[in-house]
């Protein structure tokens, strides 16, 4: 042990030695801490394929975008997934002026657009398009399925993707940045997918995908984001998004989401179903996005009934007509032998209801041609 006498000079020397020792210890601990942080950062980087952007937790407070000038011509593209045997001629025949990006997911030929892995249904295609075209996006991107007619398309637009795309209000897409093409809320809204619902209460038949979509899956997809109470939006993964809204999320986040889709142990069906109720969060950071049906039809497609109550009255007529048609079919199937007057009266009621239904629908379309009327039924705007 070194002993230092208590002379003034020796006391100063001792103090200097202690200070130097403290500085050395602090330097060592700091370098160790920095090395630990570097390891954590490198680990975070690896999950997004070496990207430079590491922070996915930044909040994106939703706000509407300023309107485009009147008469603005939007650049557009239609993105869709298809298998080699699916017929997509309707796109070229019915939408000849709309550029397309069609991805062949199963057996691509030379020159076809395709995906890294055929997994996750349409989600793999949508994410791949965004990643590959992040720096050259048009004003509006339509993300749609390859089938023209489908049960989940809007019934008031004849279940037709062509009519949906042609009538879609691009000013609305531009203003909100994201528009689910389906106005009918069921299935998907409200209060739909619960990540923490007990296993015995999971509604995996009605709410397909709920069993697979857990809080663990959420944390893998969105590290640092608080799991939401519920995820809700109208089904079924067809929508339009604006370039401005897509670019609010860093490209590295899309890469991370696609990487999760490629590597998850969830089956193809379930991994795709996860994204069906995730797009509204990706683009708007809204876990539940369920616009009023009549507002969606009016501002979104120019089919304006006047109010929520008038819209409900229309559906009362339509459902009564559908009920009676089902009743008539039942009579036919069992070779109804009862009073012929009953059948005749029911058919007369159906005709009256169908006439009234068509009258209201035609008036709604005509009303939708008036911009002032559309404003009346649009969701209240910011500012």
Q: In this predicted model, what pLDDT tens digit does every residue of 220-232 receive, in sequence order?
A: 999 999 999 899 9
- Token pair of 171, please? 């000013």
Mean pLDDT over 286-306 rounds to 97
Average pLDDT of the residues of the chain: 86
- Of residues 96, 19, 48, the one with CA closest to residue 250: 48
Q: At residue 288, what are phi and psi to the nearest 5 degrees? A: -125, 120
pLDDT band at 202 (very low <50, low <70, confident <90, very high): confident
**What's the pLDDT score for residue 7?**
58
Is the separation of the CB atoms in 94 and 71 below 8 Å? no
**What's the pLDDT score for residue 335?**
61
Q: Is the dihedral of CA 347, 349, 352, 353 positive or negative?
A: negative
pLDDT band at 53 (very low <50, low <70, confident <90, very high): very low
**What's the pLDDT score for residue 127?**
98
Share of the chain above pLDDT 70, in %: 80
Is the separation of the CB atoms in 233 and 280 below 8 Å? yes
Mean pLDDT over 40-51 rounds to 35
Is the separation of the CB atoms in 349 and 331 below 8 Å? no
pLDDT band at 269 (very low <50, low <70, confident <90, very high): confident
Task: Tell the residue number behind the tokens 């093409």, with chain if given.
Answer: 181
**What's the pLDDT score for residue 29?**
46
User: Distance between alpha carbon 105 and the CA centroid of its chain, in Å?
Assistant: 20
- Token pair of 366, please? 């005509």
Whether pLDDT at 146 is above 60? yes
User: Distance between alpha carbon 241 and the CA centroid of its chain, in Å?
Assistant: 9
Helix (H) or strand (E) holding 253: helix 251-263
Exposure on the CB side of residue 32, measured as CA atoms within 13 A:
6
**What's the pLDDT score for residue 30?**
52
Whether pLDDT at 43 is above 70? no
Q: Is cis: bond before 236, omega within 30 of 0?
A: yes
Least confident of 4-13, 149-158, 188-197, 226-235: 4-13
Cα 353-358-359 angle, rounded to 5 deg: 95
* Strand 239-242 to 100-104 pairing: unpaired
Partners of 242 in beta bridges: 140
- Token pair of 212, please? 């697979």
Q: Is cis: bond before 67, omega within 30 of 0?
A: no
The pTM of this model reads 0.82
- Token pair of 84, please? 């080699």
* Strand 178-180 to 239-242 pairing: antiparallel
pLDDT band at 52 (very low <50, low <70, confident <90, very high): very low
**What's the pLDDT score for residue 381?**
58
Whether pLDDT at 208 is above 80? no
- Write the CB contacts of 354 (distance below 8 Å, at least 6 apart in sequence): 321
Whether pLDDT at 49 is above 60? no
Q: Is cis: bond before 38, omega within 30 of 0?
A: no
- Token pair of 45, please? 């980087």
Mean pLDDT over 199-217 rounds to 81
**What's the pLDDT score for residue 51?**
36
């Amino acid at each position: 042990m070194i002993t230092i006498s208590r002379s003034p000079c020796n006391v100063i020397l001792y103090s200097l030695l202690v200070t130097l020792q403290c500085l050395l210890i602090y330097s060592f601990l700091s370098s160790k801490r920095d090395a630990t942080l570097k390891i954590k950062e490198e680990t975070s980087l690896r999950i997004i394929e070496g990207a430079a952007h590491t922070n996915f937790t930044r909040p994106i407070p939703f706000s509407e975008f300023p309107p485009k000038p009147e008469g603005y011509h939007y650049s557009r593209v239609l993105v869709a997934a298809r298998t080699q045997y699916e017929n997509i001629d309707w796109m070229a025949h019915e939408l000849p002026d709309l550029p397309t990006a069609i991805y062949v997911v199963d057996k691509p030929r030379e020159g076809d657009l395709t995906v890294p892995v055929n997994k996750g249904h349409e989600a793999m295609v949508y994410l791949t398009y965004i990643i590959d075209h992040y720096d050259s996006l048009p004003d509006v991107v339509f993300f749609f399925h390859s089938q023209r007619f489908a049960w989940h398309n809007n019934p008031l637009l004849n279940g037709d993707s062509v009519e949906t795309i042609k009538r879609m209000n691009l000013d609305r897409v531009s203003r909100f940045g994201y528009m689910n093409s389906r106005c009918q809320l069921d299935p998907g809204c409200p209060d739909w997918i619960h990540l923490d619902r007990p296993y015995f209460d999971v509604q995996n038949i009605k709410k397909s995908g709920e069993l697979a979509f857990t809080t663990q899956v959420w944390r893998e997809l969105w590290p640092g984001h608080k799991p939401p109470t519920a995820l809700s939006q109208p089904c079924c993964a067809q929508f339009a998004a604006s370039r401005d809204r897509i670019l609010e999320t860093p490209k590295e986040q899309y890469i991370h989401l696609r990487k999760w889709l490629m590597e998850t142990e969830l089956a193809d069906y379930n991994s795709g179903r996860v994204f069906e109720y995730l797009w509204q969060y990706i683009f708007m950071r809204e876990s539940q996005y369920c616009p009023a049906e009549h507002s969606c039809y009016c501002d979104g497609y120019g089919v304006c009934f006047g109010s929520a109550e008038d819209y409900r009255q229309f559906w009362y007529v339509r459902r009564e007509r559908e009920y009676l048609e089902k009743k008539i079919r039942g009579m036919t199937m069992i070779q109804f032998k009862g009073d012929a007057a009953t059948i005749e009266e029911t058919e007369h009621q159906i005709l009256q209801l169908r006439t009234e239904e068509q009258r209201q629908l035609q008036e709604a379309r005509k009303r939708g041609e008036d911009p002032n009327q559309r404003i009346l039924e649009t969701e209240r705007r910011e500012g």
